[in-house]
């Protein structure tokens, strides 16, 4: 997957979180997800994409980071992964996908966005489909490390190998 | 402005709360909510509105279908509508304006951006 198709998700993640949750995450190095990846999270929001590019984007948090994001968005402290936190995390992934969709449309690639699904469960793992490459982008805030997973399949995305992802993603 | 009834339509309770909090801060305290287009049409029939802020992507009835219903209604067709959505592509903005949306805000947005759009709408009127 070409880095050109990862940067819109990085940019929209930073934009959504700084604007709506008033945090400035530090981005780590993106990597191609392996089938043996056992990264565990407590809440994840997944949104499907369909069109000239298809697949999904997932936003996955440890408990404390999700509660911090939701607390800032809502202006009240959240102490558990309740319905408010679930809704807030779903809305953030919606904004991430929407923002990236706007960038992709300028590159001549269009897709539709589904309604997000949010999963809550202590230490769950996001598995991947074998035929769809997934790029993981780690981010860190004071409350912990969270992840964006971009799993996309499209003819126009096949021009570069996944290994390139680590080389030239925007700072 | 404080007497104007504002209908906030979004399937996200988080977004409804953020939008309502911003509206209250800029003097629109009379807000009521709906989770989707069907819910919004039912709420409108109960008492009308002076301003509608609606999302686009929602289950049951999406925002664009809702806008078309409002603009096709003799009773509600003149209510100002601002669409607040993650749909950032130019084609979507053009489509929304074509269907009768008065203004358009892309999520994520700042409280100032919402304030500016709402105030512009009422000054323009």
pTM of the model: 0.87
Position A1 scores a pLDDT of 57
The complex's ipTM works out to 0.84
Strand segments (E) across B1-125: 6-9, 31-34, 51-54, 81-85, 103-106
Mean pLDDT computed over every residue of chain A: 87
Position B2 scores a pLDDT of 66
User: Is residue A118 within a helix (H) or strand (E), and if so which, with residue range?
Assistant: strand A117-125
A39, A51, A105 from A110: Cα distances, Å: 31, 6, 5
Mind listing the pLDDT tens digit for each residue in B8-66? 999 999 999 999 998 998 889 999 999 999 999 999 999 899 999 999 989 999 999 99
Position A157 scores a pLDDT of 56
What's the pLDDT band for A2 if we cut at 50, 70, 90?
Answer: low
What's the average model confidence in pLDDT over B82-93?
86
Which residue has 């290994």 as its token pair? Answer: A163
- Which chain B residue is nearest to residue A17, measuring alpha carbons? B108
Question: CA-to-CA distance for A124 and A101, rounded, in angstroms?
Answer: 28
Partners of A47 in beta bridges:
A57
Lowest mean pLDDT segment, chosen from A95-99, A132-136, B17-21: A132-136
What percent of chain A lies above the pLDDT cut of 90? 61
pLDDT at position B101 over 50: yes
pLDDT at position A139 over 90: yes
CA distance, residue A30 to nearest chain B CA (Å): 23
A-interface mutation test, from B17, B56, B86, B90, most A Cβ less than 10 A away: B86
- Listing DSSP states for A66-88 in one string gives HHHHHHHHHTS---S--HHHHHH
Q: Is A110 exposed, middle or buried (0-12, 13-18, 19+ CB in 10 A)?
A: middle
CB contact under 8 A, A20 and B89: no
Measured N-to-C along each axis, helices A83-106 and A63-74 cross at an angle, to the nearest 10 degrees, of 80
Asked whether the beta carbons of B34 and B47 are under 8 A apart, the reply is no
CB contact under 8 A, B14 and A70: yes
Which residue has 């939008």 as its token pair? Answer: B19
What's the pLDDT band for A155 if we cut at 50, 70, 90?
Answer: low
pLDDT at position A154 over 90: no
Helices (H) and strands (E) in chain B, counts: 5, 5
Which residue has 């936003």 as its token pair? Answer: A59
Collect all residues with Cβ–Cβ distance below 8 Å to B98 and sequence separation of at least 6.
Answer: none
Which residue has 């402290």 as its token pair? Answer: A77
pLDDT at position A156 over 90: no
Position A132 scores a pLDDT of 81
CB contact under 8 A, A94 and B106: no
Q: Which of the two residues, A163 and A105, has the higher pLDDT score?
A: A105
pLDDT at position A97 over 80: yes
Among B57, B87, B108, select the one facing A15 at the smallest CB separation: B108
What's the average model confidence in pLDDT over A58-83?
96
CB contact under 8 A, B89 and A95: no
pLDDT at position A167 over 70: no
Position A110 scores a pLDDT of 86
Residues in chain A: 171
CB contact under 8 A, B14 and A75: no
B43 token code pair? 């709420």
Q: Is A2 exposed, middle or buried (0-12, 13-18, 19+ CB in 10 A)?
A: middle
A45 reaches B (C-beta below 8 A) = no
Position A164 scores a pLDDT of 44
């Amino acid at each position: 997957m070409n880095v050109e198709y990862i940067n819109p998700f990085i940019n929209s993640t930073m934009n959504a979180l700084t604007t709506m949750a008033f945090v400035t995450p530090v981005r780590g190095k993106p990597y191609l997800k392996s089938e043996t990846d056992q990264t565990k999270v407590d809440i994840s929001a997944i949104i499907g994409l369909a069109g000239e590019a298809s697949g999904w984007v997932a936003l996955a948090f440890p408990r404390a980071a999700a509660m911090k994001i939701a607390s800032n968005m809502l202006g009240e402290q959240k102490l558990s992964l309740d319905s408010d936190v679930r809704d807030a995390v779903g809305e953030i992934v919606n904004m991430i996908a929407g923002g990236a969709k706007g960038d992709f449309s300028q590159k001549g690639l269009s897709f539709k966005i589904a309604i997000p699904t949010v999963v809550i469960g202590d230490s769950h793992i996001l598995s991947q489909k074998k035929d769809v490459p997934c790029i993981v982008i780690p981010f860190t805030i004071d409350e912990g490390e969270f992840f964006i997973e971009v799993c996309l399949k499209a003819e126009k995305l096949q021009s570069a190998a996944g290994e390139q992802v680590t080389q030239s993603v925007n700072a | 402005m404080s007497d104007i009834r504002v209908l906030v339509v979004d399937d996200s309770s988080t977004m409804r709360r953020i939008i309502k909090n911003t509206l209250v801060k800029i003097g629109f305290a009379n807000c009521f909510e709906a989770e989707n287009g069907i819910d919004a049409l039912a709420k409108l029939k109960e008492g009308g509105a002076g301003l509608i802020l609606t999302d686009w992507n929602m289950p049951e009835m999406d925002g664009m279908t809702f806008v078309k219903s409002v603009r096709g209604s003799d009773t509600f067709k003149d209510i100002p509508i601002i669409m607040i959505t993650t749909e950032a592509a130019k084609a979507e903005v053009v489509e929304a304006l074509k269907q009768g949306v008065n203004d358009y805000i892309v999520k994520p947005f700042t409280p100032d951006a919402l304030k500016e759009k709402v105030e512009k709408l009422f000054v323009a009127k």
